Structure 1
Amino acid sequence: MDHLFTVVGGAATPVPPTVLAAEGLLERQHLQEWVIANPQVLGESVLVITSEFDRWADTDGVPARDRLDVLGLDATGRLVVAELKRGTADRDVHLQAITYAALVSRFDLDTLAQAHRDFRKGRGELLGLDECRQRLLDHVDGEWSPELLQRPRQVIIAADFPKQVTHTVVWLSEMNLDIELVQVGLWKVKDQLIAGFTKVYPTPEVEEFTLAPARSEAKAAARKLEERSRARNAVHVLVGAGLLPDGTLLTLTPRHGVTEGVREDIVAWVQQDDSRSSATWRNDAAKPLTWQADGKPYSPTGLANHIFTSVTDRKADGIQGTTWWDVDTTRVPDGADPDEWATLAGTSLAGLAKQFNRTGKDWTGLHTLLAAIPAGRWTTYGDVAAVINSHAVPVGTHLATCRQCPHAWRVLNTAGRISPGFRWHDPARTDSAADVLSAEGIRFDAGAADPAARLSVDDLTALADK
């Protein structure tokens, strides 16, 4: 974030940047604590294992003053080594990060559990070693993989980076070493300090077009990481977009990572107990599926692996579980419009995430657009979704529960009918949405609104641009 402004109407006033040192903020007591409290700056679904770690001093000969700033674990099963600098990074900061990554790459589950127990104890939380071990296992999507532990991801956070660092990090990334640069900025707005964290390398474009081809040629551990990362990203897209309401029914269709013979064996195994074929969705990024066969929560990949092992008695490897679960549109969740819900039929979680990976839960744009729809006009969930870069299903479910959405009765389904899920939030109201629309001048024919009064995507876009 290079520039920050305070905005009053049409006036935007630059906010002058400051630095941590000038504000009396320290690396360990402040910057490090920000990261520990907000581990999302290190990536999605990162659990902080420990900080200020120096337990290798007695065994490896590394001086005790060399302390790893923050050690995390992401949901794919990789360690995350974070090196923090409150000012401009040293010219050899990447060497420090690489050294710590090499040291922690030899850690096992017990070592990490011990470190986490000591870390939490230092913060007043008394946890048993078994409890810490289980916490780490539960955080990982799928089976615990020692191979992935050997490939830590590195994140360097600093106010700025010398060219020697950026050039070296680019080359290391091209050589298949995962290392990221995150810039921390500080601004003061009316005596209030505002901190911002911006990932400056690699950018999404670099990851997709430069680094991905090299990583696709890596060994088995890297391939496993990519499969898990795709699964995790799909789940985060769906949860972040609110695309599937809690309670959505999913059906099993084994696809990725198994042979045709194994698929046939799984189908036969499922036919022995119908509950094995179904799971319900919950908007939890860690374990969103509840399997009806045992009532336990799973990640999509974790459940696919469990089913594979139950059928074959072999350890699963490389399954992308989000391809195994399809939306069952025969049961419409509360608040969802049946016509819009039917458009999700036959699509897997992975397919939905790929199709709707730009959706989000920020409804500010929706509220602004709804306020601009005039009386005597109507539109559809799908048209509104197209304008705000979402999808008809989350738009419909949001309108069904939102108490701040203006003119919600002017949004109908694709057939121009009032959604069965539409409700007034005032229980005392006895009129219907059709009554209100009729009073506003919209004619209905056999329950469908006059198509001449419909606002198209282009019409809505024009309203949004005013």
Structure 2
Amino acid sequence: MTFFLLPNNTTAQAHGVPKISIKDAGYTENQIRDMVAAKIEDFFPGLKTISTEFTSWQDSTRRLDILAIDTESNLWVMEFKRDNDAAHAELQAIRYAAMLSVCDFGNLVEAGFKYRTKLGQTITSEEWEVELLKFLGASNAADVELSEIPRMVLISSQFNKEITTTVLWLNEMFGSTEKGVPGMYIMCIEVGLYEMVGQRAIHFDQIIPISQAEEYQVQARAKALDGVKKQAKAKRARTVAILESAGLLTVGSQIVVVEGRLKALNVTSTQDRQATFAGEGRFTWAGDGQTYESLNALTGALHSKYGQTMGTIQATQSWRLASSGLTLAEQADQLAAVGNGAVTAIGA
């Protein structure tokens, strides 16, 4: 972004104001960091600084530039880099976010009190805890449930293409698909300093994500995810249909959970490992004797019994015919490939 100076408040002699890097202006990362931490609500409305140089890790001495929190109990990781020193900043921020995912309210009280004591503030640990609870809208520590996915902010005079490409991809692949639902969130902010009439001005420019497009991007990701789910559902239906058409899956055919899923779920019952095909896409599970309308529903019941969620696991990759070492998906893919080859040969 370019700033223009208007001498004598007229446009006739307007001229651009050169941007100065943090380094060329003679400032250090720590100076910019401390300025932001002290006035964080001016730079990032709705946030409260917990600490600078946060080090409350187990088995690590790394220092997080700024740890902050918002009123929705989302933790914020902020990393500052001077000029082109921002290489691998996104990986560093992700590392900190992962380490913070197990942080609890007590850690925030302790870190925040140490930070304020270091600044010379006359505040007790109890007073700081009350202040933090009030900010979060909670009456006691038990009411505070911190988000498991901290948000990340990278701040530098300049970002190279490698970082911006990586951040855009991470936000797109792992970002929230619904407003209010947690997802990966990485913000990139470029800092510019400008000399104007004997004074310096500092400007923070959010380049990723584009602030005006954030809500649209969430909706776009939700639409894309819905499309993927529909494709996966259609593929599951085709898998069963292909195996039926080939005569490999008939009423009474037995299927079993593949070895990898048995270990992942720690399935202990022999009955829970087995199911039989009941026709019309339905399967009867030996584990409870119930007939499920689809293989996906059956697999969901299996996961639920062992205290796990399916996530993105494909049901057709979790089962195989008792007489085969291939998953249902692998067998269907082989049959489809043979079918396509036959069509090609005939067409030739």
TM-score, normalising length: structure 1: 0.43
Q: Does 1:134 align with 2:130?
A: yes
Alignment map for 1:316-465 (pairs within 5 Å):
none
Alignment map for 1:24-35 (pairs within 5 Å):
24-28=26-30, 30-35=31-36
What secondary structure is seen at the aligned counterpart in 1 of 2:84?
Answer: coil
Once the 2 structures are TM-superposed, how far is the Cα of residue 23 of structure 1 from its aligned partner?
2.2
What secondary structure is seen at the aligned counterpart in 1 of 2:133?
Answer: helix
Quick one: distance in 1 between partners of 2:44 and 2:153? Answer: 9
In the other structure, the counterpart of 2:189 is 182
| Change in 2 beyond 3 A, CA 1:199/1:108 | same
**Partner deviation per Cα, 1:127-151 (whole Å, 9 max, x = no partner):** 2222222221111146776654312
| Change in 2 beyond 3 A, CA 1:140/1:147 | closer
**Partner deviation per Cα, 1:239-263 (whole Å, 9 max, x = no partner):** xxxxxxxxxxxxxxxxxxxxxxxxx
What secondary structure is seen at the aligned counterpart in 1 of 2:6?
Answer: strand
What secondary structure is seen at the aligned counterpart in 2 of 1:23?
Answer: coil
What secondary structure is seen at the aligned counterpart in 1 of 2:51?
Answer: strand
Match of 2:209 among 202, 207, 218: 202
In the other structure, the counterpart of 1:53 is 54
In the other structure, the counterpart of 1:173 is 171
In the other structure, the counterpart of 1:44 is 45
Letter in 2 for 1:211: V
**Are the counterparts in 1 of residues 86 and 156 from structure 2 also a CA contact under 8 Å?**
no
Match of 1:22 among 18, 24, 40: 24
**Partner deviation per Cα, 1:59-114 (whole Å, 9 max, x = no partner):** 2x22x2x2100011111211111000121343310011111111122111111000
In the other structure, the counterpart of 2:267 is none
Q: Does 1:102 align with 2:98?
A: yes
Once the 2 structures are TM-superposed, how far is the Cα of residue 167 of structure 1 from its aligned partner?
0.8
What secondary structure is seen at the aligned counterpart in 2 of 1:210?
Answer: helix
Letter in 1 for 2:125: L
Structure (1 or 2) with the greater strand fraction: 2
| Change in 2 beyond 3 A, CA 1:36/1:69 | same
In the other structure, the counterpart of 1:157 is 155
Alignment map for 1:70-149 (pairs within 5 Å):
70-141=66-137, 147-149=145-147
In the other structure, the counterpart of 2:3 is 4
Letter in 1 for 2:200: L
What secondary structure is seen at the aligned counterpart in 2 of 1:149?
Answer: coil
| Change in 2 beyond 3 A, CA 1:36/1:127 | same
Quick one: distance in 2 between partners of 1:47 and 1:172? Answer: 25
| Change in 2 beyond 3 A, CA 1:140/1:216 | farther
| Change in 2 beyond 3 A, CA 1:213/1:146 | farther
Quick one: distance in 2 between partners of 1:102 and 1:73? Answer: 16
Quick one: distance in 1 between partners of 2:99 and 2:42? Answer: 23
Q: Kindly tell me the number of residue pairs found equivalent between the two proteins.
A: 211
| Change in 2 beyond 3 A, CA 1:150/1:217 | farther
TM-score, normalising length: structure 2: 0.56
| Change in 2 beyond 3 A, CA 1:109/1:159 | same
**Are the counterparts in 2 of residues 42 and 155 from structure 1 also a CA contact under 8 Å?**
no
In the other structure, the counterpart of 1:274 is none
Once the 2 structures are TM-superposed, how far is the Cα of residue 25 of structure 1 from its aligned partner?
0.8
Unaligned runs of 5+ in 2: 176-183, 226-348
**Partner deviation per Cα, 1:322-348 (whole Å, 9 max, x = no partner):** xxxxxxxxxxxxxxxxxxxxxxxxxxx
Quick one: distance in 1 between partners of 2:74 and 2:150? Answer: 6
In the other structure, the counterpart of 1:249 is none
Question: Which structure has the bigger radius of gyration?
Answer: 2
Quick one: distance in 2 between partners of 1:90 and 1:184? Answer: 12
| Change in 2 beyond 3 A, CA 1:115/1:125 | same
- Give the CA RMSD over aligned residues: 2.3
What secondary structure is seen at the aligned counterpart in 1 of 2:190?
Answer: strand
What secondary structure is seen at the aligned counterpart in 2 of 1:21?
Answer: coil
**Are the counterparts in 2 of residues 89 and 162 from structure 1 also a CA contact under 8 Å?**
no
**Are the counterparts in 2 of residues 41 and 197 from structure 1 also a CA contact under 8 Å?**
no
**Are the counterparts in 1 of residues 25 and 193 from structure 2 also a CA contact under 8 Å?**
no
Unaligned runs of 5+ in 1: 219-466
Identity in percent: 29
Quick one: distance in 1 between partners of 2:131 and 2:224? Answer: 32
Quick one: distance in 2 between partners of 1:99 and 1:16? Answer: 35
**Partner deviation per Cα, 1:190-248 (whole Å, 9 max, x = no partner):** 33111100111111343122234546999xxxxxxxxxxxxxxxxxxxxxxxxxxxxxx
**Are the counterparts in 2 of residues 69 and 84 from structure 1 also a CA contact under 8 Å?**
yes
Once the 2 structures are TM-superposed, how far is the Cα of residue 121 of structure 1 from its aligned partner?
0.2
**Are the counterparts in 2 of residues 31 and 86 from structure 1 also a CA contact under 8 Å?**
no
Letter in 2 for 1:22: D
**Are the counterparts in 1 of residues 104 and 146 from structure 2 also a CA contact under 8 Å?**
no
**Are the counterparts in 1 of residues 110 and 125 from structure 2 also a CA contact under 8 Å?**
yes
**Are the counterparts in 2 of residues 84 and 156 from structure 1 also a CA contact under 8 Å?**
yes
